[in-house]
Structure 1
Amino acid sequence: MKKIDLACIIDDDPIFVFSAKKIMELADFCNGFLVFGNGEEALNHLRALISSDKELPDVILLDLNMPVMDGWEFLENFIQIKSEKAITIYIVSSSVDPSDINKAKSYDHVNNYIVKPVTIDSLKKVLKNHKA
């Protein structure tokens, strides 16, 4: 399996971010990370990358419950941005609420819904499904 160049984690929980990065390293998942603590910070940074033609992430792991701008608000705004590169989004949440899972499936830009914690197996599935 070919690993991902750049992965983006959007999550306000520093413990989750730390553990996700460690698991990504163990799974040989990606060459680099972008990490943002809320949707607004991520949206602003990703917009700047798109407008300056800089490297964009291949995959976004998006939490739903965050301060400032939650995952749903990020998603609604992000899908409005025109980009040459297709970025695969995975919702990564502790929520097992069927309404959250069904809502995530209603977005064409969302590839899958991963229930926390992220595991090596869940990352290997992401890699297997990723079109390099």
Structure 2
Amino acid sequence: MNKVKTLGIVDDDKIYTFLVKKTIEQTDLVETIKVFENGLDAIDFLKNNAANRDTLPEIILLDLSMPVMDGWEFLEEYILLSPKLDRKITIYIVSSSISPFDIAKAKSISFVTDFIIKPVSKEKFIEIFKKL
């Protein structure tokens, strides 16, 4: 199985992102992990690297509840930006929300691959990486 070259985590919870990075590093299936504390930082990164296929993440793990720009606002911007990106990015919403509304809304967005409820196990990350 090929390694994921770059993974993006968009989440403002520093403890969560620390634990997720450690868990993902244990899988040895991801070369580089980029963490963004809000959707705006992630969108700015994507805009600044739109033509650089090697820098763009292959997968984004997106939280919904964040300051500055939340996950829904990120998705609105991403949909507009995606035609300009040099790579198709697989997006998973990873949220502590169990709201049926959030899950249904996420599944209605074609750019979202799946909605995963936190916490996420090492086995679930392996499953995600193998699908790529």
Q: Which category of TM-score, normalised to the shorter sequence, fits these structures?
A: over 0.9
* SS across alignment from 1:86: coil
Unpaired segments ≥5 residues, structure 1: none
Q: After alignment, is 81-90 or 65-74 more displaced?
A: 81-90
Aligned positions of 1:108-127 closer than 5 A: 108-127=110-129
Find the partner of 1:107 among 98, 109, 124: 109
Aligned positions of 1:51-70 closer than 5 A: 51=51, 55-70=55-70
The TM-score, its normalising length taken from structure 1, stands at: 0.93
Partner of 1:22: 22
Structure 1 distance, partners of 2:118, 2:129, is: 17
Cα distance, 1:52 vs. partner?
Answer: 5.5
Cα distance, 1:121 vs. partner?
Answer: 1.3
Unpaired segments ≥5 residues, structure 2: none
Identity percentage of aligned residues: 45
Runs in 1 of length 4+ with deviation above 3 angstroms? Answer: 51-54
Equivalent position amino acid for 2:114 in 1: N
Partner of 1:76: 76
Structure 1 distance, partners of 2:45, 2:130, is: 28
The TM-score, its normalising length taken from structure 2, stands at: 0.93
